[in-house]
A = this chain, B = another copy of it.
Amino acid sequence: LDYQHVQVPFEITLWIMLASLAKIGFHLYNKLPSVVPESCLLIFVGLIMGGIIYGLNDRSPPVMDTDIFFLYLLPPIVLDAGYFMPSRPFFENIGTILLYAVVGTIWNVFGIGFSLYGICQVKAFRLQDVSLLHNLLFGSLIAAVDPVAVLAVFEEIHVNEKLHILVFGESLLNDAVTVVLYKLFRSFCEMPTIKSVDVFAGVGKFFVVGLGGVLVGLSFGFTAAFTTRFTKDIRVIEPLFVFLYSYLSYLTAEMFHLSGIVAIISCAMGMKRYVEANISLKSHTTVKYFMKMWSSVSDTLIFIFLGVSTIGENHEWNWPYICFTVIFCLIWRALGVLVLTFFVNRFHVNTITSKDQFIIAYGGLRGAICFSLVFLLPDFRRKKLFIAATTVVILFTVFIQGMTIRPLVDLLAVKRKRESAPTVGEQIHIRFLDHLLAGIEDISGHWGQYYWKDKLEYFNSKYLQKILLREYDQPKSSIVLLYEKLERKHAIELAQAGQLGHGPAHPSFLCSAFLCSSSDRTVITDQKLEDTPNPDVLDNMQEILARNLYRIRRTGPAYNRHTLPGDSEPTEHAKEILILRHKSL
């Protein structure tokens, strides 16, 4: 037995396996996930695992490594979030989101920091050795809403799109603020004296960290799009570039102390439309599927590790400090949302209702980011107290708020998301209105959202597409793309339905299904087609279809590692079909 040799990959694989099996386990009981959010269940599994490890080894289980979290577990989740980000509601509410993310987070940091410092002055609590700076440092890590926790809970409660994007967008973009404030206070803690220059430098850093992240992300995103222009002959490595460039953008941003989360989101949003147009359909399925899979596993692992790391002897318990932390987190968030929304509502027609405000405040969940940051703190006497307080806040928000938010959403009758996607008609109208509003804004000289969007679209089709797309001479509107997608889906479904209905007995059910549904209509409009579905004709059609299944005749060479079986040129087939059809006409 040579365990040493395989230990690292073996243990990683086992952890991922545990996470995946836990997920399957929860979904076997259909009732459980509808009451308790998955995140709570996973933390619970983690607590049990931690308990077992603690019991067996008689020492604290290993805590979640901060590097592992920030370098390996967080990026997949953020990439997934960025890639599938609904860009329209995001950009429509970007102002509000930034306000919550920047001003709101600063408000929370200083609110929580100063009020906890106030608590520390009460002699009875025996906390006088915790300085203001330490409290502010603690505030900076505990204030930030966590995207992983928010996603895990909000994706299950299906609130309306705007509310979702406000909370989720805030949780993503506050990363820049958190990074700056946390690093600022941490370096202040280590400095002997703080000059006012340092404070101003800190303020300047906000912009560097945030905008730098966007810049890094976009440049990697566009490079990724450009690279996929040249992958036509080796489709099989296309998905790789999406992952590689996004990850590089994250790592590069982290390397320069910029916001990695902002970078990876910009990268994903920047590359998405171009990459989708360049890569093959199968590659795109793989990209989407793998992204979902990866983020799902990362997210599961994070919550399990959170549970495991909670067990142990890292905690110093101090009732007043911990209770007041929870209370201040709730109060300052509520106040912040109220005040900021007051200003937001003054400048918007489509206001945020008080119900929505409540859910925004209540949905401010804390998660693994705080947890990782608190372990990154420099060692000082009260670090264990901070760890305990952070753990309690996370468990409180994930368990209590996470479990009650769904009943509250039901109780308050918060506007839900519309379940259906917009129809083609609606989409055309939306686009028409966008053009109209852009025109109005242009005429009235108001450089608003629509004006910029129109300019960006112009710049995109004029320059970017030519550089980044392989077939830039045939730009397809999104309506056409949607139509193509629908028709493809429809064709697959019909093929499947034909099999499900009749099985092998009717080899051309696909054909007959079409004739049936069309004849149904022509019974009314055109009498000539009425007799179509009689058995003889169907048999004939079966024959024709059997002949036209030309795939049987030619299949790509097997054994080639760079192509998948049957992954040959679609254009050739299309041509063949066209020739067949022309002949028949």
On A, residues with C-beta under 8 Å from B are: 1-3, 5-6, 8-10, 13-14, 16-17, 20-21, 23-24, 27-28, 30, 67, 71-72, 80, 84, 86, 151-152, 154-156, 158, 161, 164, 227, 230-231, 233-234, 236-237, 239-241, 244, 247-248, 251-252, 254-257, 282-283, 285-286, 288-290, 292-293, 295-297, 299, 417, 419-421, 423-424, 479-480, 483-484, 486-501, 503-504, 507, 510-511, 513-522, 525-526, 528-529, 531-533, 536-537, 540-541, 543-545, 548-549, 551-555, 557-562, 564-566, 570-571, 573-574, 577-578, 580-581, 583-585
Contact A577 B513, beta carbon cutoff 8 Å: yes
Per the bound structure, the CA–CA distance linking A27 and B562 in Å amounts to 11
Closest to A581 in B: B516
Question: Main SS of chain A's interface residues?
Answer: helix
Measured in the bound complex, the distance between the Cα atoms of B417 and A560 in whole Å is: 12
Among B156, B290, B557, B571, the residue within 8 A (CB) of A417 is B557
Instruction: Please report the C-alpha to C-alpha distance between residue A167 and residue B494 in the assembled complex, in whole angstroms.
Output: 44
**A546 and chain B: residue at smallest CB distance:** B424
A194 to chain B, nearest CB (A): 23
Question: What are 26 of the A-B contact pairs (CB < 8 Å)?
Answer: A2-B255, A2-B257, A16-B244, A24-B237, A27-B234, A80-B561, A161-B558, A236-B296, A285-B285, A285-B286, A286-B290, A289-B564, A290-B290, A417-B558, A423-B552, A479-B504, A486-B552, A487-B510, A490-B495, A491-B495, A492-B492, A497-B574, A517-B548, A520-B583, A525-B536, A529-B537
**A483 interface neighbour in B3, B257, B504, Cβ under 8 Å:** B504
Is B293 a contact of A240 with CB atoms below 8 Å? yes
Is the pair A237, B585 in contact by a Cβ cutoff of 8 Å? Answer: no
Contacts of A565 in B (CB 8 A): 84
Given A240-B297, A561-B299, is A570 in contact with B21 using a C-beta cutoff of 8 Å? Answer: no
User: In the complex the two chains form, what is the Cα distance from A170 to B207 in whole Å?
Assistant: 61
Take A257-B2, A557-B158, A557-B419 as given contacts and tell me if A499 and B487 are in contact as well, using a CB distance cutoff of 8 Å. yes
The smallest C-beta distance from A474 to any residue of chain B, in angstroms, reads 10
Q: How far is the CB of A13 from chain B (nearest CB, A)?
A: 6
Whether B532 contacts A529 by the Cβ 8 Å rule is yes
Number of copies: 2
User: Do the beta carbons of A507 and B483 come within 8 Å of each other?
Assistant: yes
**Contact, CB under 8 Å: B503 / A237:** no
Identify which of B251, B256, B489, B555 contacts A421 (C-beta below 8 A): B555
User: A10 — nearest CB in chain B belongs to which residue?
Assistant: B251
For A491, list chain B residues within 8 Å (CB). 491-492, 494-495, 510
Residues of B contacting A241 with CB < 8 Å?
20
Q: Within the assembled complex, what's the spacing in Å between the Cα atoms of A417 and B536?
A: 40
A425 and chain B: residue at smallest CB distance: B552
Task: Please give the distance in Å from A324's CB to the nearest CB on chain B.
Answer: 34
Chain B residues within an 8 Å CB radius of A489: 551, 566
Inter-chain contact A574/B493, CB cutoff 8 Å: yes
A517 to B484, CA, bound (A): 21
A419 to chain B, nearest CB (A): 6
**A479: min CB distance to chain B, Å:** 7
Residue numbers in B under 8 Å from A288 (CB-CB): 564
Closest 8 CB pairs of A and B: A520-B584, A491-B491, A421-B555, A497-B577, A491-B495, A27-B233, A286-B289, A497-B574
Instruction: Known A296-B561, A495-B490; judge A255-B3 contact (CB<8 A).
Output: yes
A6 and B158 contact, CB distance less than 8 A: no
| B289→A554 contact, CB < 8 A | no
Q: Which residues of B sit under 8 angstroms from A480, Cβ to Cβ?
A: 499, 503-504
Q: Give chain B nearest CB distance to A22 CB in angstroms.
A: 11
* Contact call B498/A487, Cβ cutoff below 8 A: yes
Asked if B23 and A237 sit within 8 Å, CB to CB, the answer is yes
Assess whether B577 is in contact with A493, with CB atoms less than 8 Å apart.
Answer: yes
In the complex, chain B residues whose CB is within 8 Å of the CB of A152: 561
Apart from A489-B551, A490-B495, what are 20 other A-B pairs with CB-CB below 8 Å?
A10-B248, A16-B240, A16-B244, A21-B227, A234-B296, A239-B289, A282-B289, A286-B290, A295-B561, A296-B561, A420-B553, A424-B552, A484-B496, A488-B492, A490-B549, A491-B510, A497-B577, A518-B541, A521-B543, A528-B531
* A513 in contact with B417 (CB, 8 Å): no
Query: How far is the CB of A528 from the nearest CB of chain B, in Å?
Result: 6
Given contacts A518-B511, A559-B158, contact A28 B497 (CB under 8 A): no
| Contact partners of A72 in chain B: CB under 8 A | 9
* Distance (whole angstroms) from the CB of A508 to the closest CB of chain B: 9
Which residues of chain B are near A552, meaning CB under 8 Å?
Answer: 421, 423-424, 486
Complex alpha-carbon distance, A287 and B516, angstroms:
36
Point out the residues of chain B lying under 8 angstroms from A510, CB to CB: 487, 490-491, 514
Q: Are B540 and A525 in contact (CB under 8 A)?
A: yes
Given contacts A155-B559, A248-B13, A507-B483, contact A227 B24 (CB under 8 A): yes
In chain B, what residue has the closest Cβ to A573? B493
* Residues B247 and A9 in contact, CB atoms below 8 Å apart: yes
Q: Across the interface, which residues of B come within 8 angstroms of A86, CB to CB?
A: 558-559
Q: Bound complex: CA of A479 vs CA of B504, how far in Å?
A: 9
